[in-house]
Every structure is written in C-alpha cells, then in structure tokens.
Structure 1
C-alpha cells in the first residue's frame, strides 16, 4: 500500500506584493514594480495645473475689480494724484482716528490706482482714504512701528478720470459730509484739470446721486469759489445760508465781489470765527447801503403852492409803503428792483440788466 504524503500548510504571503524593487514572481525576467499607472499620473498633474490656473485667474479678477486688499508701502503712494475735495482736517477728528488705528489697526482699506513710469518711485495714486493715509503717516513718524509703515488698500482701475473723481467724492460723501464750498471747489478744480468739458457736466457727473435742489446749491457756491478761493482762509466754515446770501449779493451787485476781496486781503484772520464775522459784516453793509446815485428829491415847488406829499404806494401783497421807506426786492432771476419813494427813483440792478432789457423798457414806457 502506497504511503501518503503530508502536505505543508498554505503560505499566506504567497500571492502578496513582493518587496520593493522585486517582483512577486521571482526570477531574472521579473518586471520592475509600478505603483501608479502613467495615465493616472498625467491626469493628476493636469488637474493640479488647471486648479492653479483657475486660482490665478480668480485672484487676477479680484484684484482688477478692486476686491483684493493689499498692503502697500506709504512712500509708494502719491496722495496728490487727484485734486483733493477736502480742504481742511479737523485735528480732533484726526487724533481720534489715530487713536483708533493705534489700538485696533486699520479697519477700512483705502483705494488706489496703479501708476506707470513715475520717476519719483510713486507706483500708486490715491483715489480715496486721504484721512486714513495721513493718520498712518503721522503714526509712523511718531512711533516708527513697522505695522504703520504700510497701508491696506484696494487696487481699482477706473475707466476714466471722471470715474476716479466720482469715486473720491462718493466715498467722502458717505463717510464724512463735505461742506457746499468743498463740493463746489472740487467741481471747479475738476473742470480746470480738463476732467469735464463744462461746469454743468462737472456738477452732474460728480453729484449725480444728489437731489437736484442740493446740486443747484452746490452750483451756486461755484460763484463763491471762483471769486474768493484765493483769499479765503477758512472757506469750509461758510454755512449754506451765508454762502447763498453772498452769491446772491454778487449776482445783484457786480462790484460786491471786488470789494469783499479787498476787505479780505486787508484784514488778518487767525480763526474761522473771525473770517465769518468779516464776511457777515461785509454782507450786512452791502444790504443796508443806499441805492447808487444821488437820492436827493428832485421836486419842483411853485411859489404859490406847498409841496405835495408823496402818496403811499402799495407793494405786491397789499401792504403800503411809507414815503421814506426804501424798497429792494428780487423781481426775476438776476434782476433786482430798488425804489426810493421820497427820491422818486427806481433802479434795476443785477446780471439781467442788459441792452435787451433797456429796449424793452423804452418800448413799454412809450406805450404806457
């Protein structure tokens, strides 16, 4: 009887992967080990490249649209890139802003635009955020701390110079309300810089979101800026009421602006209150001045009769005018009527007085 052969137990690692550098099938013809298939490796590399490309495009788009906050050295920014709309800076407000930045850091970024080919090393032009930039510069000068050597900024690319000025004005309108004088001044300066073709276009472009009545008042202040900007020390302190009254007087009295300019040049002012007192005084003196020319009555008296008393006249609205009461009223745009009953004198003044009005008056008097 044949003897049975005992079988050895199965080896658990027989079909498992061979050690690194060896094939599972021992032998001189065994192929080298391949951990990743070539097509899988190529697909992985292509996917990584596509992801990086997409991320780069997203970052470029965000930066171009002004959605990316960057840190820029203070010395690289030109704050005079645009004519600033803010004339003065309140020291109390600046101190409060500096204290806030020192304790909490810069919370809101400024807006800048890239500059090309500058020889002074300035590579960014300031659009908005002049107060924050000024505060950081003063902090760095005082403390020399590295955290104050740079400013957080959004890089924007306005389509035109008009868009850049609009961005500056709108940012300041939202954050800190400007005076009417400052608004009118930036409109005048933008026109002089050639940003807008006309003053009307400048007002409409810069203050398109303002109500029409407000834009009209700003337009009135343009007259004040053009006449007195070179001699005023504290123009931002001029209230809306005072500014409009000064403009109205300039319109009615062609020599008022010149007289006021001379008065400002001849009188020293160290505070806004002193300048306002001077402006109010000049306006009051102009409003209370008598009509130009000789106001003596020109009445012929017959020897046998007494002078007839000048009858009382009725103003529009029914009220009576006393013989020696002086009337001064605005009768139309750019046209003011003055009447002195005791002097038997009527006078028209203002920008509306021209040769056309003269001829119309002659015709009306002939037909009267």
Structure 2
C-alpha cells in the first residue's frame, strides 16, 4: 500500500502578499430561556389569570358604584330628581368655583345611569352645587368639561332621594323650608305614599323634634311654594309661627299669595316682614271664644228661660256658633231673613 504524503500549507509569499482574510461571521446563537417550557406556560397562565381578576374587580367596582369615572357635563341631567337645594348663594358658588379651579374636583358627584337611549344618559343624585360650579367653569375653560362621578344603582326612587338628602345633610345645612319642600315634592312625585312616610324615610337619622319641625314647614310649602322669592330665609321661629297661623286661619294663605303676587318683596327682609305681620284682614285681638247668653222672647215679649241660646265666637277663624234649646228652625229662618236684609 502506497504511503500517504503529508500536505503543507502554501507559502504565502510565493505569489506576493496575500490579502488579509476577513474574520468569519459567527451568527449569534438564539436566546434560550433559562426556564423550562412548563415554567413559561405556568407564568403566562398566571399573568392571564391576574389580568382577568383585575378586569372582574374593575367591573364589580363599576357595578357597585365604587369606580370614579369622568362623565361629560352635557351627559348629566341635574333635574333627574326634584332638588332639595332651591338655590346656591352667589358668594358660596364662587368660593366653590375657586376651589375647583385651584385644586380640582376632590369629591365625586353621584349619578344614576338611565340607559344608552336616555338623553342625557346620566341623572344627578347628589352634588348639585359641584355640578353647577363645574358648568360655570366650563364656560371659561374647556378643562372643566367633565365631572368626576360615582355611578350608583339605587334600587328604588326613594333610595335615590334618601342618598340626596343624606349627602346634603352631611355637607351643607339646608333650611327647614328646603327640607320640607323635598318631602312635599317627593310625595307629589309618587315616591312616597304620604307625608309621614316621606318624613320618616328621608330624615330617619335626625331627631324626632327636628322631624316635627320639618313637618310643620311642609304646611308653608303647600300653601306658599312658588309665591315666595326668599323661602330659604325663613327661620325656625318665624316658620313655626307662620305654620300655626296658616292652620288656624284658612284664608291667610290666599291673602299672602295675592299680596306677594301683586307687590313682590324686593329682598328677604321685606318678605319676612310680611310673613310675620298679622293677616291684612285680621281684626283686633279678642278672646278665642266669647260666650254670651242670649234669651228669646215668647209671644208676650217675656224672656223664655227654657229657650236659652249660647253663642261662641272665634274671631281668628271667623266662626260664630249658636247652641242651646232655643236653636231651632224658626230661629234659623229668622237669621236668614236678617242676613238677607243686612246684605
């Protein structure tokens, strides 16, 4: 067998200087995870589960009204409920606007979602002053075009009214008139069956004495709402006295309404003065009941003791009552003739 020859490398100087060969490119090895495939799969499943849990938590928070959302102002109906707050004082509103301009909205309002077909879609439950201030600011600055809100889901209309009243009771002291007005309006809207139920439900957390005073003010609301220009200025003492006089004098409400209609009060003080004044047609004070015996005469002109008649006169109510054995058909006919002649 022939012996193999060992080959040697060619002399690089034989054909001149050989060009330097470029360094060979070495492709980077693909990265390989240090984790085994089963660990990678487990990590992906865990991340997916965490994302799903977060999504469910967000949905629950939204459904339960715990998620603060930015809602465009034009999508909010401030008149969804009959408001307990009648008006906001200009100075008070400007102070709130300045706070919102400086610090932003710190406390969300409460809304109810009325459905996609409703326009506006959301109804205001509580936060009327904040919404009013934001609307004012939005006219000056586009940054205030939305309101931070919690979307509530009250089970009944009465729950929504309770939420509104409780929020205002905590944050802003309402006048007795405003409290009484929401009671009256809630009954008119059919939210509650009667006034007593509305009082007990809306003001369940106040004292019985305070509920009683609110109930007295409902008499003023029923008699004069719409005729008064400054109802929130009616204080406790003035209101309770006015409610009493309205009950005792059925004609007082109409007289006050007519007077306020013909000559509206220029300010709160003038209006209060009219409410505190006695009724225009009131007579001088007299005992509540004046009792005087009246004796009829018989055919000979002599008094008949058996026909004694007692009169009871109530000047505040304009009521004259006759009673006794002498009150009969003959007396009634005689009185009728006398009244016709006097007219």
- Report the counterpart of residue 42 of structure 1 in structure 2: 41
1:5-46 CA distance string (max 9 Å, x none) = xxxxxxxxxxxxxx7369xxxxxxxxxx78654432332222
Instruction: Return the TM-score normalized by structure 2.
Output: 0.74
- Report the counterpart of residue 109 of structure 1 in structure 2: 108
C-alpha displacement at 1:197, in angstroms? 1.3
- Report the counterpart of residue 142 of structure 2 in structure 1: 145
Distance, in Å, in 1 between the alignment partners of 2:251 and 2:261 is 16
> 1:34–1:233: structure 2 CA closer, same or farther, 3 Å change rule?
closer
**Equivalent of 2:158, from 147, 150, 162?**
162
> 1:260–1:63: structure 2 CA closer, same or farther, 3 Å change rule?
same
- Report the counterpart of residue 268 of structure 2 in structure 1: 272
- Report the counterpart of residue 200 of structure 2 in structure 1: 204
Q: Is the 8 A contact 2:288 2:315 kept in 1?
A: no
1:66-90 CA distance string (max 9 Å, x none) = 2221111111111111111111210
- Report the counterpart of residue 124 of structure 1 in structure 2: 122
Distance, in Å, in 2 between the alignment partners of 1:281 and 1:95 is 35
Q: After TM superposition, where is structure 1 displaced by more than 6 Å over at least 4 residues in a row?
A: 297-300
Distance, in Å, in 1 between the alignment partners of 2:163 and 2:172 is 14
2:313 pairs with 1:347: yes
Aligned residue runs from structure 1 range 1-368, under 5 A: 20=29, 36-120=35-119, 122-141=120-139, 143-146=140-143, 148-282=144-278, 286=282, 288-290=284-286, 346-347=312-313
Distance, in Å, in 2 between the alignment partners of 1:87 and 1:198 is 22
Distance, in Å, in 2 between the alignment partners of 1:21 and 1:177 is 72
Distance, in Å, in 2 between the alignment partners of 1:298 and 1:123 is 72
Instruction: Return the TM-score normalized by structure 1.
Output: 0.69
Q: Which has the larger radius of gyration?
A: 2
C-alpha displacement at 1:266, in angstroms? 2.1
C-alpha displacement at 1:103, in angstroms? 1.3
Q: Is the 8 A contact 1:251 1:350 kept in 2?
A: no
Structure 2 unmatched runs, 5+: 1-27, 296-309, 326-343
SS at match of 2:148: strand
